[in-house]
Amino acid sequence: MSAPNTPAAAAASASSPASAASSAATGASWRDIGGDYLRSVKAQQVQAGDRFLTRKGEPSSPVTRTRIARDDFGTPALVIATLADDREVRIAFGSTIRVRTHRPAPSLDATADLAPVQEGSPEAVVVEIAQRHPDDQRLLALAAKLSRGINMRSGAQLEDIDTMARYLFVDLDDSDGALRATTLLTPLPFDGAMGRWKSIESSLALAANIHHHRGDTAQAEKLGARLREPDESEADPIRAQRQAEFRQRQLNEPNLYDREILRAESAGDLAAERGWRESRLSTLFYLRARGGSETYTGEELDRLVRLEVTALRELADRQAAAGPDA
């Protein structure tokens, strides 16, 4: 999640941290207020008890049984589902349909659910990373989606890659895997598209911090210097000066979301607290990668980063213990 007060995110609109944290928890299904899972399934996966969603979003009568109709060549062509009210629903075999079901999504498998990839491709990097943690369902869900094809011009897919890197670093304590994921984004230049840049910027800041804490100062500074690319792209000297002054104020007076985090803690809202803490960590990473500011020294930022990473990892453990509805 790119920090709302970093240059890229200040120019691009962002959803609330709570909703971002929820959407980042990639999975095959989510649970509605009635206790059912709302899930997209292949037609042939429909089972007794499932209910279809009408065009108005209302559930149908439950399915009581299904059968498969074949075409004249013996190939499965239709799935015919009989409902409790005796109606029949005909669905093209292999098509995807939304259902309400009490069945949770099946677990993903690193060998079966990752698409075949070409060696040396970005997709191959994603699969390689996922295989480091073959039992982690959130990581596998992200990798399965990305392994089907990555478009480096897609802001949404760049965000998924950055989310993967952050998840590896914070939740899985895998800085090697996180650094590997960032290599997909850090070579990309600033091209004026702020929606794409916010993910590139986020990965640059994360990678710079990993290198810094490993003692590779030269690489950390090289990556941190690239965070200035949007500032340096302004050709008009007057506007460039105004932007520099505005940027310095951002660096000196960053929003670290103290009130928002305290409010979420008081309400016991773990998802919201995680979202705000991720925003705070993004800001700290950015500040540290930029070399600090007039009000925050590098040493102070190192201390704050350590505290926030520890808090997020403890929060992740609490969320895991509380279950998917936390």
Indicate the helix (H) or strand (E) that contains 209.
Answer: helix 194-213
What pLDDT is attached to residue 321? 78
* CB-CB neighbours of 62 under 10 Å: 17
Q: How far is residue 155 from each of residues 196, 198, 200, measured CA to CA in Å?
A: 5, 9, 10
With contact defined as beta carbons under 8 Å apart, do 47 and 63 qualify? yes
Among 135, 149, 142, residue whose Cα is nearest residue 164: 142
What pLDDT is attached to residue 309? 96
Q: How far is residue 14 from each of residues 8, 109, 186, measured CA to CA in Å?
A: 10, 32, 21
Rounded-to-integer distance, Cα 25 and Cα 68, Å = 34
State the greatest distance between any 2 C-alpha atoms of the chain, in Å, as a whole number: 76
What pLDDT is attached to residue 233? 73
* CB-CB neighbours of 13 under 10 Å: 8
Please count the CA atoms within 13 angstroms of the CA of 139 that sit on its side-chain side: 26
Taking the chain (326 residues) in runs of 10, the rounded mean pLDDT of each run is 44 42 43 63 89 83 94 91 95 88 78 87 96 91 94 96 97 96 97 94 98 96 94 77 81 93 95 95 96 92 96 90 66
With contact defined as beta carbons under 8 Å apart, do 132 and 165 qualify? no
Rounded-to-integer distance, Cα 203 and Cα 216, Å = 17
Distance of CA 159 to the CA centre of its chain: 6
What pLDDT is attached to residue 20? 42
What pLDDT is attached to residue 1? 40
Among 271, 280, 273, 278, residue whose Cα is nearest residue 325: 271
- Which tokens hold the place of 266? 């008081």
- Which tokens hold the place of 81? 């589902």
Q: For the chain, list the domains and their CATH numbers.
A: 7-28+151-322 (no CATH), 30-101 (2.30.30.30)
- Which tokens hold the place of 275? 């979202």
